[in-house]
């Protein structure tokens, strides 16, 4: 039996470039893994695929770990079976890539379990049949993503401390894209004010475009997220952003702003995670 971790990611900025002929969207975003993770154990069996999932109740045929294992085992002609135990810690529908990371973890875990000689690049090619976010998680770390999110340029990112806020509900990525496509994107005064406050201040280190195109529709639909973002900015935090299509917000913090943010979030009874980026 072997055990592996499936790490969450954040999106540092996200630009929706346009809609493709295949129905997907071209995007530009920076992806970075953080040390919030699900865990999966793998055990060989005589035949069949089983998934025990703590914290995730969905039909087996819809379980991404099951579908990924089935694809891998057919691809490599594996006649034996596997029993997987998944413990969910990454919020579902939070924009943190938990499902995609689980799928990548299954591919890497089965490679180890059955000692299959296949490269990361070959796993990444296989990933494209599972989901557009999955290839990134084969290597993890930090990458600039283009196209559907699967054209990746990896780079070294300095270690950053963050707080991730989860509002307690998921947001559908499919809904967010539809809302974006159907919206006339006008400038929202409240959001602009928050953005301008950050631009007035300079911060040394790596510079990114921090704008997330999903915020226009997501924060309009969920004003509670806008309220939390506004209050975190008031704590002196320069970067507070939606991750992916949400529902999670992340805040880039130092020791001083971290204390203020934790005090505020604890005061409203929020669910949040104190994390760091990982290489």
Side-chain half-sphere of 190: how many Cα atoms within 13 Å? 12
Is 276 considered catalytic here?
no
Give Cα separations from 46 to 4, 15, 51, 78 (angstroms): 21, 47, 15, 11
Q: Which of 133, 150, 213, 229 is catalytic?
A: 133
CA distance 223 to 267: 19
Q: Which of 9, 88, 216, 258 is catalytic?
A: 9
What is the secondary structure of the chain as a DSSP string?
Answer: -EEEEEEEEEEEEEEEEEE-TTS-EEEEEEEEEEEEEEEEEEEEESS-EEEEEET----GGG-HHHHHHHHHHHHTT--SEEEEEEE--SPTTSSS-HHHHHHHHHHHHHHHHTT----HHHHHHHHTTT-TTHHHHHH-SEEEEETTTTEEEE------EEEEEE-SS---HHHHHHHHHHS--PPPHHHHHHHHHHHTS---S------BTTHHHHHHH-HHHHHHHHHHHHTT-SEEEE-TTSS-EEEEE-HHHHHHHHHHHHHTT-EEEEEEB--
Residues designated as active site: 9, 133
């Amino acid at each position: 039996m072997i055990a592996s971790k499936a790490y969450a990611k954040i999106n540092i900025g996200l630009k929706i470039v346009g809609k493709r002929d295949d129905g997907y969207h071209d995007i530009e975003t920076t992806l970075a893994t953080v040390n919030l993770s699900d865990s999966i154990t793998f055990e060989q069996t005589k035949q069949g695929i089983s998934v025990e999932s703590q914290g995730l109740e969905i039909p087996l045929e819809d379980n991404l770990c099951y579908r990924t294992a089935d694809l891998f085992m057919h691809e490599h002609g594996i006649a034996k079976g596997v029993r997987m135990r998944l413990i969910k810690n990454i919020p579902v529908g939070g924009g943190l890539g938990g499902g995609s990371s689980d799928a990548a973890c299954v591919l890497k875990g089965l490679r180890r379990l059955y000692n299959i000689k296949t490269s990361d690049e070959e796993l990444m090619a296989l990933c494209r049949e599972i989901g557009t976010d999955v290839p990134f998680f084969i290597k993890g770390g930090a990458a600039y993503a283009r196209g559907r999110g699967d054209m990746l340029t990896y780079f070294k990112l300095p270690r950053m401390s963050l707080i991730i806020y989860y509002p307690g509900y998921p947001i559908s990525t499919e809904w967010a894209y539809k809302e974006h496509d159907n919206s006339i994107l006008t400038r929202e005064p409240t959001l602009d004010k928050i953005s301008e406050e950050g631009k007035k201040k300079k911060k040394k280190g790596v510079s990114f475009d921090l704008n997330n195109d999903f915020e226009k529709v997501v924060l309009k639909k969920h004003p509670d997220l806008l309220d939390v973002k506004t209050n975190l900015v008031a704590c002196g935090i320069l970067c507070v952003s939606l991750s992916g299509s949400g529902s999670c917000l992340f805040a880039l913090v130092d020791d001083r702003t971290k204390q203020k943010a934790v005090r505020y979030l604890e005061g409203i009874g929020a669910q949040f995670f104190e994390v760091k980026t990982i290489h």
